[in-house]
Structure 1
Amino acid sequence: MEELIPTVVLFIAIQFILFFLHPLQPAMSRPHNNFTDLESLLAFKASVADPHGLLATNWTANASFCSWNGVRCSHRRQRVVALKLANFFLGGSISPHIANLSFLSHLNLSHNALTGPIPGAIGRLPRLARLSLAYNSLSGPIPLSIFNMSSLVEVSLLMNNLSGSLPSNTDPPFMLPWLQIMSLSKNHLTGSITPNFARCSQLQVLSLSFNNFGGSIPPELGNITGLILLYLGANQLTGSIPASIGKLSKLNELELGNNYLQGVIPEELGNLLDVQYLALANNILTGSIPIALLNASKIHTLILAQNNLIRSIPATLGVSWPQLEILDIRTNKLTGRLDFINSLSNCRNLEYLELSENKISDFLPDSLGNLSTSLKNLYLNRNYIKGRIPSTIGNLSGLIDLDLGRNELIGEIPSEFSRLKSLQGMFLDHNRLSGYIPPELGLMTGLNALALQENAFSGTIPHSLGNISGLQSLSLVANGLFSSIPDSLWSLSGLLLLNLSGNTLDGSLPQQMGNLKFFDMLDLSKNRFSGNISSVLGNLQMITYLDLSNNSFDGQIPSSLDLLVINIEYMNLSYNRISGTIPESFTSLGKLYSLDLSFNKLQGPIPEGGVFSNSSTVSLEGNPALCGALKLGFSPCPPPSNSKSNLYLLKYILPPIVLVVLLLSCFCTRLIFHRWDKKQKLPSEDTSMDTIRVISYRELVRATDNFSEANLVGRGSFSSVYKAHLDDGLITAVKVMNSENQSALRSFDAEYYALSKIRHRNLVRIISMCSNLDFKALVLQFMPNGSLEQWLHSHNYYLNLLQRINIMVDVSLAFEYLHHYHPHVVVHRDLKPSNVLLDENMTAHVSDFGISKLFLGDSHSILSATAPGTLGYMAPEYGSTGKVSRKGDVYSFGILLLESFTRKKPTDAMFDGELSLRQWVTRAYPSAVLEIVDPDLLKESVDIQREPSSPIIVGQCLSSLIELGLSCSRDSPQERIQMRDVVPKLQKIKNDFLSKSPRS
């Protein structure tokens, strides 16, 4: 026993020493225990791109990884517990090795440019509590393993390109007992909203908006009693709003807008006593605004716009909601009185009130002036409001926008409006207002837009309007104003739009007009202006629209108008007394799409080229002294010489020559018809020709006025197209092939063979053909609205976003039929905007099958000896391998799609050998899409609706369209989708846009 005492003492001593040295132990053993963390971090670094070198600065072996940027370690074990690299500009993908950081509790890689999928291995992190991968470009489905991480408290994946659906009841267990925040908004998620979220008893924020979820809202969500924020807007949800939502007693914000929800607003929503933000806009809700909703007394924002709500607005609304800041119930079917405005005086924080586009018929109450001085936006336009404008509106000193347009208001504009010093936009158009325009409006120095058109104002334009130095837009159209334009208006150097059309103003154009160098639109038409057209117009180099028609201007067109070459698109000088010749320089006005000089006193030759080359863009009738331009219907200009030799030639030599030519023409025509009757035969296997009319060469001559230039619609290397009026009154297009070009004759055969065998509403229909030894022509359906090429690039007319989408849907349907539903696959090989024609209803029809290929049997590709198509639209494999297939048409469609929404041709000068249209778009997608699309489409988003979400709706739609265009135009044919997959994608984009945009 005594022998054991030293051993025991030694053991106790060792344990005592180890106890006090224990804090040092992790440091001594760190190289071995933490090797996995180091290896995982290095693997992560290797998988990402670091363009700004933010990781390279200290993510090196020379420093402990616990000191690396964005890395935080535990104090005792020195293991990685947090990786926070938000806003590090990182690209590349997320390495699955990150799952080896077994102590990780916080992962934040948000606000970067990461791509690829979310590694499923992340689900193996046992301690992970916060996962934030928001604002990246991650794609693919959300790994199911994430929904089984019992430690998670927060998941933020919003603003990515994630797809797929959420776990259903049949998937692995949905175990997120501690989850408080689930944010999946602004992705491409589909399927239904899983009721499994009801298992997350601690959930406070559920954000699923801006996805593609369908089905109904699960009633089980009403069991998440701790929910504070619920965002389900901008999806495709159907059905009614569950009454169970009313059980969410802690709910602060509820967003269900931009869906397809129907039925009435549940009265149970009145039980949401803490709700402050309630948005149900742009659904199909019916019924009235429930009185029970007034119980939700903390509401500060209520958006019920764009539904089918009826009846009147509750009169005590303002008393019940004293904290109200935003009330938007526009575009419904609300009726009744405006007495609820009396109660709104109780809402001292009210900033935004919109009741436009309803059926309210009442007088504006004086109590309107008792509203909060915080009110910035007041929109009551497009109702049936009558009576006078109350002068008390002058009390609303904070007002920025006032729109009372398109009502039935009468009387004068109150002079008290001059007190609205903050007002920037005043719209009183399309009413029955009368009297003088008050000079006190000149005191509203903050005004930038004043719209008083379509009223009954009289008197003169107040000189004081020239004091509004920031005025950009002034419209006084269709009133009873007289006298001259006050000189003070020409001092408004920032004026962009001036429309005084339809009054009885007189005088001449002053020299001071040249001060307005930023003018975009000037319309002085339908007045009594006179004198010479001032040469100062040439100083308006930014102008795009000029209309001086229906006045009494005289003199010659000033040569200074040549300077308008920069931007002018529309010019109308018709119905004046302008004399002299048309300046030759007008042919160089490159953007001019419409020129009207009709009914003047112009004379001399009509210039050739430019706008004068197309009869649809120029109007010169009513000028009998003009000559030349036979295709515009004018006589040839007389020869300059009157010598006796010319007289002798005309009298004695020319008549016999003409007689001989006529006799020969008759003989040749008879011979041609004889051969045509004898030899013309249609292919016996073409059963579709049974319904095609037979039209003779003689009828085509009559129908086109002997193929006159006046009927020429267009001319190409293979053919010329004429507008024709057939004997039965039918208007057609006659495509006459160039008989001297063998390629043109082959093109005729290919196009006739293709068109005679196919029928589809989005393909140009063949009506007849005429073919003999010397003449070949196709008689086709006439398209009065021209081609997509003209609409996109000639600025003839403006195509809005929905029109462009409709055209793309039409084209995709045509190619879906050609590629997948016709008995034989037809490959067009030359899809481009000039081959997309538009009928009277703006329905698109694909044309020009001159180089098409029809594949028999199961063959879906061939080798072509010639390079098909047009440069810029032609698939890459055509030039490298000569292989022709359906995927080549898909490529062309992708380029057409990109061109239609960027308004950039693939052959634009900016796209040299190193940069293509597709590469340019790819560089901008997805983060900078709005910088490359047609800016007119973004202006449209501002005009569509005033709510802040409208640009988001348009931007989302454009982003989806650009994404589809890029998918169709991939370099590898195997990676391109098929046309039968393009059609549903386009239709979905269209339906999404329609469901989220305001109804017209």
Structure 2
Amino acid sequence: MAWHAAPVGVIYGLSQEDKEFLASETASLLLWSPTLTTNHTDHLALLAIKSSIIHDSQHVLDSWNTSSHFCQWQGVTCGRRHPRVTILNLASRGFAGSVSPHIGNLSFLRVLNLQDNTFKGVIPPQLGNLFRLQQLNLDNNSFEGEVPASLSNCTRLNIFRLGTNNLIGKLPQELSALVNLVELVIHKNGFTGGIPSFFGNFTSLKKLSATRNSLGGSIPHTLGQLYHLQFIGFGSNNLYGTIPGSLYNLTSLKVLGVENNSISGSLPKDIGLELPNLEYFQIWGNKFTGNIPFSFSNCSNLSKLDLANNSFTGKINIDFRNLPNLWYVGLHFNSLGSSEPDEMSFIDSMVNCSKLKQLQFDINQLTGVLPSSIGNLSSQLRILTFSGNFIYGTLPSGIGNLVKLEQLFINYNQLSGIVPSEVGNLQNLKYLYMNYNFFTGNFPKFIGNLPLLLELSLANNRLEGHIPPNLGKCKGLLGLDLSVNNLTGPIPVELFQLSSLSITLNLSQNYLVGPLPPEIEKLKSLQELDLSHNGLVGPIPNAISGCTSLEYLNLGANSFQGQIPSSMSALRGINDLNLSSNNFSGQIPKFLEKLNLSSLDLSFNNLDGEVPLEGIFKNVSFISIQGNYGLCGGFHELRLPKCAQVSNTSSGTSRVILIVISICSFLVVAMVLSSLIYWKRKKPQPAPEVTYVQALSRVSYGSILRATNEFSQQNLIGTGAFSDVYKGILEPGDGVVAIKVLKLGNQGALKSFMVECEALKNIRHRNLVKIITSCSSVDFQGNDFKALIYEFMPNGNLERWLHPSSEQEVVIGEALPQRLTLHQRVTVATNVAHAMHYLHQECEVPIIHCDLKPSNILLDSDMVAQVSDFGLAKFLPLKPHESISTGLRGTIGYAPPEYGLGGEMTKEGDIYSFGILLLEMITGKKPTDDIFHEGLNLHDYVMIALPHRLMEIIEPTLLSTIEEEMEGANVNHEDEARQWERLEESMILLAKVGLACSLEFPKGRMNSSKIIQELHHINGLF
């Protein structure tokens, strides 16, 4: 039969060189083999494919030239009987470019493999011409656009792989014709439109992988027809609904993965009998509920069981003895636990699982003692986590047998006793978290012998003794947290020489002493340094300028002295700086204006001079400078005295003036003191309470009567057991004040008045209500009258913002306020936390408030929160008669459980009240809400919802406020999804803080420093 050559150059994209090559090749083919009638088409198609490849890192295409027949070219395989291309395998060759549409002319092609390259552009529709194609592999490229419907013509396809590309759109219905498929892989793309029900037509299918798309919808029940299916993966696809019961009939199934979706329902009790061949079962990150079926014990081939991040409850009762291949168990972030005596016995049955590498049980409700059998677990174990449970007792010494362990997380439990020395055997340990327990004894020195340690936290325990210098041997240490213990002595200089530290060094709330050594300059990569609440002394060394990566620095509540060094101007990345409650002197450095600070606390030092006006000092709500009585100037909101004008006269004249002023001041003070002594001797000594009250008297009863319009109902802004609060104007031009009038007829009112006076005269903080003066007089009928006069808070109290329909609004008669936004709520919580921290840690005499609740939190004109009502407050240390409460102190719902049992009043009691307050701000539920009965309380209500159902219990008006903000911002759907994801992250973190504060056991509650740190982090997410 005659053969006619196609005109040279008709293939689009050929270079001049290729055209010349084709011309000579065509001539030679005509002379050399007149019997080959169609292989010239393959030749031209291959050259077109070559011309579309723009990068060939391995020089594969160098062989595609005239020196050999195309059947000998690299990656090309021809049939035995005819020189036609049957296989084109260009996988993993480092190619870049596009795929020529002329590939559709390789009509004898049975296998096309282009995986692991960088091909771009669309998938050529001409591939649909390859009706003999059996395998198509385009995995791991950069193909884009939609899948061409023409591929439905390739009805012989049994392997179809499009994974890890940039493909989008809905899978075309025409693909239902590919009934011979055995393997379908479309994962890691952007496919939408739901899982096609026609997948159920692929009855020969063994593998279906569609993870990490955006398919949406529910899993179609038609997949239950795929009786040969061994692998099914639909993870990360925005799926909802339940797993169809038909899928549990697929007895050949080895891998089932639907992780990271919103699938709900419970697992069938007989799942292990219905799917006996399971090897991988992965459903983490969904909304599954109910118990974990015991029948998993029947899956003898099971190697990975991942049920994390769901809402499973009850006892872990799988018999792991029959699962010899198991290497991964992930049950973390559920609500597992039964409080039965043998709660932890499941560990005993894991001893036979010799391949175990990873066990995770974090954030559940497991209760009990860790059994000694934990030391008999697989020697291959790499990761073991039990954090966030209610495990008590000692840590078994057998833990030291797990010599390949790299991560050990047992934090946030109730473990006690000493840290067993056998932990020093874990030479491969990289992450050790034992914080928030009750470990005692001296600091475990053997931890310094763990050479690979990257992160170590022993915070919030009861450890004593010195920090061992051998921690300096951990040369790779990135983060170290030893805060809130009873550690003593100086900080080992070896810690400051750990240049590897880059995450955090937190030694706060211990009893450490001594100066900061100049070796601190070695911490060049450190982001967070917290040495607050210790006994450190001396100046800040200039070497701190070397800590150029610092973002958070807290040196508060120590005994540092001297000036704030100018070398700190080198800390260009600093965000939060706290130097409060020290002995720093001199002026506030001007360089602080230039730092990119979001929080600055210089309170309670000996600073003097003019307050700067630029940088962070422009926003007074982000700075704290009270307690520095030599400061002047600054913005009006700081209410500091004006700075004296500096004269231009000579320094000698100025010095004379200063001497004269000093002498005059001394004489005035001497005269005043002499007068006071004289009158004190002359007058009879009244009772202490009366003396104190009279000393505060500034305003008469008549003035208050006029200011409140004779205590009119229109001026009433609050009422309580011991007092009524009115707004009024004492004198024209003085502005509005709040006047708290005591109900002296009520038992305890006078004592409350005295306590509040005593507390408020000694405290100054931007988040604590400010007393202007007091009144102790008699009314016009001769009755005792006492009142306290405060700054007026125009935005009322937090109660009326959280619950504007309460009876309080009817009493006060004010307009209902708008609802607080989430950002405002976090800010208010942060304000309250700062106030609480000040009362507990920074007052000269620590104070327990004893009644933190929304009605005692006032909001000024800028919505800055201020804690009020100190009528129940107690000073530490408590007096002997105060150590045990005679009744419930505080308010029901907010008072900690130990107070109701006659327990000692402690700082942890305020922490509990704060935690309940925070949960109330999130959920909109009061702790006394009618839904809380039969043992359920606000703490448990939130705990049960974490993490995946938390958004279901958030106050609806809060969510609607957020939706309105997003609508007003005109964000697109993609940005909106990211914002909701960030929102949910923030809400979970807030809930965790509230839960950590409101734990039943006082010693397990989060401390105020950590609360502030967490809230600032959450605020940063906005």
The answer for the alignment partner of 1:191 in structure 2 is 193
What is the alpha-carbon distance in structure 1 between the residues aligned to residue 984 and residue 88 of structure 2? Answer: 40
**Alignment-derived partner of residue 492 in structure 1:** 498
Q: How far 1:182 sits from its partner (Å)?
A: 0.6
> Once the 2 structures are TM-superposed, how far is the Cα of residue 519 of structure 1 from its aligned partner?
2.9
Report the residue type matching 2:213 in the other structure: N
State whether structure 2 residue 82 is matched by structure 1 residue 80: no
2:580–2:605: 8 Å Cα contact kept in structure 1?
yes
CA deviation profile, 1:459-509 (whole Å, cap 9, x unmatched): 332333333333332211112222222333334332332111112222222
Alpha-carbon distance in structure 1 between the residues aligned to 2:176 and 2:360: 43
Contact 1:315 / 1:340 at 8 angstroms: preserved in 2?
A: yes
**What's the counterpart of residue 513 of structure 2?**
506
How far apart, in 2, do the equivalents of 1:358 and 1:552 lie?
42
CA contact (8 A) 2:294 2:318 kept: no
The equivalent residue for 1:729 is 794
CA contact under 8 A between 2:58 and 2:94: conserved in structure 1? no
2:311 aligned with 1:308: yes
Q: Give the distance between the partners of 2:308 and 2:819, measured in 1 at CA.
A: 43
Q: Hey, what does 1:141 align to over in structure 2?
A: 146
Amino acid at match of 1:729: P
Residue 228 (structure 2) aligns with: 226
Q: CA deviation at 1:381?
A: 0.6
Residue 262 (structure 2) aligns with: 260
Find the counterpart in structure 1 of residue 455 from structure 2.
449
State whether residues 501 and 527 of structure 1, in contact with CA within 8 Å, keep that contact through their aligned partners in structure 2.
yes
AA at the equivalent of 1:622: G
* Preserved contact between residue 46 and residue 103 of structure 2 (Cα < 8 Å): yes
**Conserved? CA contact 1:123–1:146, under 8 Å:** yes
Please give the TM-score of this superposition, normalised by the length of structure 1: 0.61
Q: Provide, for residues 849-895 of structure 1, a one-character-per-residue CA deviation record: whole Å limited to 9, x for no partner.
A: xxxxxxxxxxxxxxxxxxxxxxxxxxxxxxxxxxxxxxxxxxxxxxx
**Partner of residue 684, structure 2:** none
Q: 1:603 to 1:313 in 2, by over 3 A?
A: same
- How far has the Cα of 1:994 moved from its partner? 9.2
CA distance in 2, matches of 1:48, 1:702: 80
SS of residue in 1 equivalent to 2:143? strand
Report Cα offsets for 1:539-560 as digits up to 9, x if no partner: 3233222211111111122333
User: Does 1:479 pair with 2:467?
Assistant: no
- Give the residue type in structure 2 aligned to 1:233: G
Q: Quick one: which amino acid aligns to residue 551 of structure 2?
A: T
Q: Is the 2:618–2:635 Cα contact (8 Å) retained in structure 1?
A: no
Could you tell me whether the CA contact under 8 Å between 2:227 and 2:252 is conserved in 1?
yes
Task: Determine whether 1:376 maps to 2:379.
Answer: no
Aligned to 1:949: none
The 3-state SS of whatever aligns with 1:638 is: coil
* Pairwise CA distance, 1:91: 4.6
How far the C-alpha of 1:636 sits from its partner, in A, is 4.5
> For residues 523 and 989 of structure 1, do their structure 2 counterparts lie closer, same or farther at Cα, with a shift above 3 Å needed?
closer
Summarize the alignment of residues 852-931 of structure 1 with structure 2, pairs less than 5 Å apart.
none
Select 2:628's aligned residue among 623, 628, 631: 623
Partner residue in 2 for 1:289: 292
Query: Paired residue for 2:275?
Result: 272
Q: For the residues of structure 2 that align with 1:280 and 1:564, how far apart are their CA atoms? A: 46
One-letter amino acid of the counterpart of residue 319, structure 1: R
Does the Cα contact within 8 Å between 1:99 and 1:125 map onto a contact in 2? yes
Indicate conservation of the 8 Å contact 1:473/1:495, yes or no: yes
Closer, same or farther in 2 for the Cα pair 1:80/1:260, shift >3 Å?
same
How far off its partner does 1:79 sit? 1.8
Give the direction of change, closer, same or farther, for the CA distance of 1:416–1:263 in structure 2 (3 Å limit): same
- 2:587 is the counterpart of 1:545: no
CA contact (8 A) 1:202 1:226 kept: yes
| Match runs of 1:162-173 below 5 Å | 162-167=167-172, 171-172=173-174
What is residue 406 of structure 2 aligned with on the other side? Answer: 400
User: Take 2:970 and 2:608, find their aligned partners in 1: how far apart are those partners?
Assistant: 58
Partner of 2:214: 212
1:459 aligns with 2:465: yes
How far apart in 1 are the matches of 2:621 and 2:67?
74
Query: Is the 8 Å Cα contact of residues 272 and 297 (structure 2) preserved in structure 1?
Result: no
Retained in 2: the 8 A contact 1:223–1:247? Answer: no
Quickly say closer, same or farther: Cα 1:601–1:465, change in 2 above 3 A: same
> Tell me, what secondary structure is at the counterpart of 1:38?
helix
Report if aligned partners of 2:295, 2:318 keep a CA contact under 8 Å in 1: no
Instruction: Report whether the alignment pairs 1:96 with 2:96.
Output: no
Structure 1 segment 614-693 matched on structure 2, within 5 A: 614-630=619-635, 633=638, 634-641=640-647
Higher alpha-carbon deviation: 487-496 or 524-533: 487-496
Q: Give percent identity, aligned residues only.
A: 36
The residue type paired with residue 500 of structure 1 is: L
* In the alignment, structure 1 residue 518 sits paired with structure 2 residue 525: yes
What whole-Å deviation, never above 9, does each CA across 1:939-992 have from its counterpart, x for those lacking one?
xxxxxx99xxxxxxxxxxxxxxxxxxxxxxxxxxxxxxx999964444556678
Structure 1: 5+ residue runs without aligned partners? 1-23, 648-698, 704-710, 712-725, 732-779, 787-837, 842-944, 947-977
- The answer on whether the counterparts of 2:297 and 2:318 sit within 8 Å (CA) in structure 1 is no
- The answer as to whether partners of 1:152 and 1:178 remain within 8 angstroms in 2 is yes
Letter in structure 1 aligned against 2:238: Q
C-alpha RMSD of matched pairs (Å): 3.9
State how far apart, in whole Å, the 2-side matches of 1:998 and 1:438 are.
36
Q: Is contact 1:465–1:488 with CA below 8 Å preserved after alignment?
A: yes
Distance 1:546 1:998 in 2: 26
Superposed displacement of residue 536, structure 1: 2.5
The aligned amino acid for 1:369 is G
Is 1:387 the counterpart of 2:396 in the alignment?
Answer: no
Q: How far has the Cα of 1:75 moved from its partner?
A: 4.3
The verdict on how the C-alpha distance between 1:224 and 1:361 changes in structure 2, with shifts beyond 3 A counting, is same
Alpha-carbon distance in structure 1 between the residues aligned to 2:65 and 2:629? 86
Moved more, 201-210 or 245-254: 245-254
Q: Residue by residue, what CA displacement relative to the aligned partner does 1:283-331 show, whole Å, maximum 9, x if unpaired?
A: 1112211122211111011001111111111152x21212110000111
- The equivalent of 2:364 in structure 1 is 358
| Offset, 1:412 | 1.6
Counterpart for residue 424 of structure 2: 418
- Structure 1 counterpart of 2:246, from 244, 247, 264: 244
1:66 aligns with: 71
What SS is found at the alignment partner of 1:309?
Answer: strand
Query: What TM-score, normalized to structure 2?
Result: 0.60
1:379 and 1:404 in contact (8 A); partners too:
yes
Q: Is the 8 A contact 1:457 1:481 kept in 2?
A: yes
* Aligned-partner SS, 1:174: helix
Structure 2 CA distance for aligned equivalents of residues 150 and 218 of structure 1: 23
Give the structure 2 partner of residue 109 of structure 1: 114
Q: Which residue of 2 aligns with 1:160?
A: 165
With over 3 angstroms needed to count, the CA separation of the structure-2 counterparts of 1:172 and 1:351, relative to structure 1, is closer
Q: Is the 1:437–1:461 Cα contact (8 Å) retained in structure 2?
A: yes
Q: 1:454 and 1:136, CA in 2 relative to 1: closer, same or farther beyond 3 A?
A: same
Q: Distance in 2 between matches of 1:149 and 1:628?
A: 82
Q: What amino acid is the match of 1:425? A: Y
Partner of 2:45: 40
Residues 785 and 840, structure 1, Cα contact 8 Å, conserved in 2: no
Query: Structure 2 CA distance, aligned partners of 1:407 and 1:728?
Result: 42
From the superposition, tell whether residues 376 and 543 of structure 1 become closer, same or farther in structure 2 (CA, over 3 Å): same
The separation in 1 between residues aligned to 2:208 and 2:335, in whole angstroms, is 32
Per the alignment, in what secondary structure is the counterpart of residue 137 of structure 1?
coil
SS in 1 for 2:223: helix
Q: 1:390 to 1:517 in 2, by over 3 A?
A: same
Structure 2 distance, partners of 1:608, 1:528, is: 32
1:100 to 1:702, Cα distance in 2 relative to 1, 3 A: farther
CA contact (8 A) 1:87 1:112 kept: yes
Mapped to 2, the partners of 1:312 and 1:116 lie a distance apart of: 53
- 2:585 pairs with 1:579: yes
- Secondary structure at the residue paired with 2:243? coil
Amino acid at match of 1:347: C
